[in-house]
Structure 1
């Protein structure tokens, strides 16, 4: 079964009410979003595209950026969608580490009461580095609750935040301090791809999310993504997790580009679902 590790279906409650801090993303991804029919599909049409692409399960993620950018996609909204469409979605919680104990209480409620299965942290939106001390209580709570965490790793295109918040090497300190923590670094670290691969080689609990980037770039010379292909088909083949990031990328095209890479069929199957099953403990 193909698992899409990260998409935002056309449900208003799953989008930030004010995404002005992400305006530059619309410029960067304009061509891809047009191909994905951003803003044009109804929910029924979206489900039809999902089925046509062969996607069996989609991960949807809450976000809390209230203290920095004044908005959130609530845990309750994500849980409601998961309940409304059984077997279609897995939900990740979203909390704001800037909120201290409030974030920890909200995370525990989201997991133990709402049934969400992981935590999503877009650190650049919280204006926090991956290894900021305010993140540490949240990491500890994830271990206590036995849930994985999705971390934005690599450059961000918001002109109201700092690209350095997503440096992959910051993960090394976190994983040395929390060796039990299960992390998916998503997107996959560009332009510090080799740095991310080095950290993943050191730490067996670190997976890499091939999300929000065209898979075909792994095979394009000088794209900066090439090392992901080499390590992702060999020593890290069990830790590459694909996602379409719809509506940032078209679903079917993303999957077809992975299948077209010079990797063995069983490796592509792992990237497209098997590794996600293990990471999510399904």
Structure 2
């Protein structure tokens, strides 16, 4: 089975150490015992393991939360990774909406000069919901460039000053209505708002979803029921590596209650279509 991993950051020693030292997510990592689960490995072994597992592409989403949390752009590191393995990794430019036109310039540069294939934002880290006006120039530019955008959601467990409501899917539903040509990926399943995000994906042709990290949380059974009946053509596999081991996540997805044809769509076909990799 061919696989596209839609949320993949290689677990190199530098990446793992950087996450362990991250002050913003330190409480979350301690709670979930990330230090005990982390498996730092050289990039060569990671790529070899991707090949063994059938992972043909890894989408590496950037992050820029400099204004609110002092987390500078991860884009330069992603550019370096893409240069090292141009056939394996696809970069999505992380953007800080508070930077205004500088964020637009960054997006254009990352796409036009460095070959990135999408954008990525984090409403809970920006402390403004996805339908805030500060994002709208980013959405418009994504439409112009014909690239998708990943909107990171989830409960932001123990992240200081972050609130879940900024990542509520109702805000994304508004964005999808205002930008019907914008291809949106809701990352981390908008957990815990399972029912609301299912209908947001179902009722908007332009909205996709990944479940990264929340496949086995309370109420997650709704995701799989919906995949088998309503949104199986718009769900994407995303391992959330290195926070989760991508090989273990692949094994998990093969055990989850997807219909066989839905599993093939989730693991590869939906992402290939979204990224224009079909054929």
How high is the TM-score relative to the length of structure 1?
A: 0.90
* Equivalent residue in structure 1 for 2:36, among 12, 34, 37: 34
Q: Distance in 2 between matches of 1:41 and 1:79?
A: 20
Misfit runs of 4+, over 6 Å: none
Mark the CA change 1:227 to 1:249 in structure 2 (over 3 Å): closer, same or farther.
same
Q: Distance in 1 between matches of 2:20 and 2:73?
A: 8
Contact in 2 for aligned 1:153/1:185 (Cα 8 Å): yes
How many residues are aligned here?
273
Shift of 1:231: 1.0
Q: Does 1:249 align with 2:244?
A: yes
Instruction: Report SS of the residue matched to 2:169.
Output: coil
Which digits, 9 at most, give the CA deviation of each residue in 1:161-206, with x for residues without a partner? 1221100111111111111111000100211110001111210110
Hey, what does 2:203 align to over in structure 1? Answer: 202
Shift of 1:95: 1.4
Q: Distance in 2 between matches of 1:10 and 1:197?
A: 30
Instruction: Report SS of the residue matched to 1:21.
Output: coil
Q: Distance in 1 between matches of 2:267 and 2:257?
A: 15
Contact in 1 for aligned 2:59/2:92 (Cα 8 Å): yes
Hey, what does 1:107 align to over in structure 2? Answer: 107
- Matched ranges for 1:134-149 at <5 A: 134-149=134-149
Mark the CA change 1:98 to 1:115 in structure 2 (over 3 Å): closer, same or farther.
same
**Deviating more after overlay: 153-162 vs 89-98:** 153-162
Hey, what does 1:81 align to over in structure 2? Answer: 81
Contact in 1 for aligned 2:212/2:238 (Cα 8 Å): yes
Mark the CA change 1:16 to 1:71 in structure 2 (over 3 Å): closer, same or farther.
farther
Contact in 1 for aligned 2:150/2:186 (Cα 8 Å): yes
Contact in 1 for aligned 2:176/2:204 (Cα 8 Å): yes
Contact in 2 for aligned 1:62/1:72 (Cα 8 Å): no
Which digits, 9 at most, give the CA deviation of each residue in 1:58-93, with x for residues without a partner? 111221111111122443331221121131101111
Mark the CA change 1:16 to 1:125 in structure 2 (over 3 Å): closer, same or farther.
farther
Shift of 1:47: 2.5
Shift of 1:115: 0.8
Contact in 2 for aligned 1:188/1:196 (Cα 8 Å): yes
Q: Distance in 2 between matches of 1:192 and 1:153?
A: 10
Shift of 1:51: 3.0
Q: CA RMSD in A?
A: 2.0
Hey, what does 1:133 align to over in structure 2? Answer: 133
Hey, what does 2:191 align to over in structure 1? Answer: 190
Q: Distance in 2 between matches of 1:65 and 1:276?
A: 26
How high is the TM-score relative to the length of structure 2?
A: 0.91
Q: Does 1:273 align with 2:265?
A: no
Q: Distance in 2 between matches of 1:10 and 1:254?
A: 14
